[in-house]
Amino acid sequence: MQASRHVASPAKTALCAWLIPGGGYWVIGQKSRAITVFISVLVVFFMGLLVGGIRVMDPPGWGDYGFMTQLVNRQIDSTHYEIIPVDPMTQDQADNPTSDDRDRSWHPAVVEHPMDELSDKPWFVGQVLCGPVAILASMGSVHAARPHSTNAGSGDAPMQAAAISHARSWEIGTLYTAVAGMLNLLTIIDAAFRSDQIRTGNA
């Protein structure tokens, strides 16, 4: 009973479990379980990246070319306009979202309609449950999406550092990374519950 007073609270345990898979078990003293979860979750997560490539990490708000999706006002006539989504393909388009009949009034889509952006990529909720490792992988995905060269005059899309995988490889990679996050969610809940049980002396 004396030792139970020093166990982390359920909230702190859950936070540790999200920051590092298995970390919640570690702070409550169940180190073997923590190591098992750490290895299992990260192996499944990185297997997804190996199968589908880094681009299976597709954070809401960012387009196919690694720039923030924009909502741009397009002028219809002198008194009417419509808002259209734009996926910039180059740094210049991202910095100056103006072309043809578009004006300079634009807003990041993820700021204006965050739930719409999230509903377009619901698998990211599962992925981010793996913790900061998923956020770092997402940053790597955005960086890899940025074009490093263009085929001037050819009409082709800019060349990217890492192309998006397609069909089965993308689906399997996304599934693995999302499942890893869902598995980690179960361990977060379980570790927090065990922490509460230990603190109240019911373990």
| CA 16 distance to own-chain centroid | 19
83 - beta bridge partners? 73
pLDDT at 17: 97
Strands 159-160, 70-75: parallel, antiparallel or unpaired by DSSP? unpaired
Kindly state the average pLDDT of the residues 67-90. Answer: 70
Kindly state the average pLDDT of the residues 107-118. Answer: 78
pLDDT at 120: 85
Give CA separation, 179 vs 46, 100, 152, 176, in Å.
11, 44, 41, 5
Tokens of residue 180, six digits:
């890893």
Q: What is the pLDDT of residues 13-50, one digit of tens each?
A: 999 999 999 999 999 999 999 999 999 999 999 999 99
* Residue of higher predicted confidence among 60 and 99: 60
pLDDT at 2: 43
Q: Which amino acid is at 87?
A: D
Tokens of residue 136, six digits:
């770092």
pLDDT at 68: 81
Tokens of residue 191, six digits:
């570790």
Residue 101: pLDDT band (50, 70, 90) is: very low
Burial bucket for residue 122 (CB in 10 Å: 0-12, 13-18, 19+)? exposed
The angle, 0 to 180 degrees and rounded to 10, between the axes of the packed helices 31-52 and 132-145 is 20
Give CA separation, 177 vs 4, 37, 131, 134, in Å.
35, 15, 11, 9
